[in-house]
Copies of this chain bind each other. A is one copy, B any other.
């Protein structure tokens, strides 16, 4: 039986990818960011997942305004790395897990989540930066990511994005779906994006350290309450792009305690300002 044993939360700032790809990781500015992931890199080596269910958002890369799925699940065998304007990031292509992904799609749709099933989708920094942060640099041709990834894209570009509550409930549904898959697989679920940032207008550059940390406390210790935070609070307190944080609630809803099981253990927590325009947050929860 497949099971979700851990969740990883992290920002997915494009500049982090650029810093990695351009060899800037030892500059003091970036050193402070990457140091926060040293623990996670070791932890994921010691707790190697068989599959990662990776929740992220597409940033006008695979999806233009022609088609905007609220929730899109990738059921393909592989995904190319997108060219976001500077050529594709020099990282390995992403291998999928069609069997588990299709199984989750079927189960979650039958639990009344109206997913869009996708079989062709270039993946952008939202998905590849978290992989780079946790697995380090990989040669795009000679190396491979250590395990298959199921991309799950959430619309946070055009309002209305799904509510925190909807995301949290979806996480619960994903947990049930994974538990009904016959093969014995250790699945990690990652929630990415955020934390506070605003990329637009005279209010660009907004960061809210206090709110971010209070929200993270709530995510870890009282996810039900965290799921009740309305959209407008994210916008007002954490900037217009801070809304990406709702994606972390999908991963959180997939942990055992949301289904009445044991509380997860906080293995690691990290917060840093800034990476480019953004506050970087990172946490690891494990069910022991």
Q: Give A contacts to B, CB under 8 Å.
A: 65-72, 106, 109-110, 112-120, 158-160, 162-163, 166
Are B119 and A67 in contact, CB atoms less than 8 angstroms apart? Answer: yes
Chain B residues, Cβ within 8 Å of A106: 159-160
- If A106-B160, A160-B106 touch, does A67 touch B112 (CB 8 Å cutoff)? no
Chain B residues, Cβ within 8 Å of A113: 114
Are A112 and B166 in contact, CB atoms less than 8 angstroms apart? Answer: yes
**Shortest distance between the CB of A235 and any CB in chain B (Å):** 15
Are A160 and B110 in contact, CB atoms less than 8 angstroms apart? Answer: yes
Chain B residues, Cβ within 8 Å of A120: 66-67
9 A/B residue pairs, CB under 8 Å, sorted by A: A67-B72, A67-B116, A68-B117, A106-B160, A109-B160, A109-B162, A112-B163, A112-B166, A114-B166
Q: Out of B66, B67, B71, B119, which one reaches A114, CB within 8 Å?
A: B71
Copies in the complex: 2
Distance in angstroms between the alpha carbons of A49 and B227 in the assembled complex: 41
Distance in angstroms between the alpha carbons of A267 and B141 in the assembled complex: 66
Distance in angstroms between the alpha carbons of A118 and B65 in the assembled complex: 8
A69 (CB) vs chain B CBs: closest residue: B116
Are A70 and B119 in contact, CB atoms less than 8 angstroms apart? Answer: no
A117 (CB) vs chain B CBs: closest residue: B68
Distance in angstroms between the alpha carbons of A67 and B119 in the assembled complex: 6
**Shortest distance between the CB of A287 and any CB in chain B (Å):** 27
Distance in angstroms between the alpha carbons of A252 and B127 in the assembled complex: 41
Chain B residues, Cβ within 8 Å of A114: 69-71, 113-115, 162, 166
**Shortest distance between the CB of A91 and any CB in chain B (Å):** 23
Distance in angstroms between the alpha carbons of A106 and B68 in the assembled complex: 12
Are B116 and A70 in contact, CB atoms less than 8 angstroms apart? Answer: yes
Are B160 and A117 in contact, CB atoms less than 8 angstroms apart? Answer: no
Distance in angstroms between the alpha carbons of A112 and B69 in the assembled complex: 13
A67-B118, A114-B115 are known; give 16 further A-B pairs, CB within 8 A. Answer: A66-B118, A66-B119, A67-B67, A67-B72, A67-B116, A68-B118, A69-B114, A70-B109, A106-B160, A109-B160, A110-B160, A112-B166, A113-B114, A114-B162, A114-B166, A117-B158
Chain B residues, Cβ within 8 Å of A110: 160, 163
Chain B residues, Cβ within 8 Å of A116: 67-70, 116
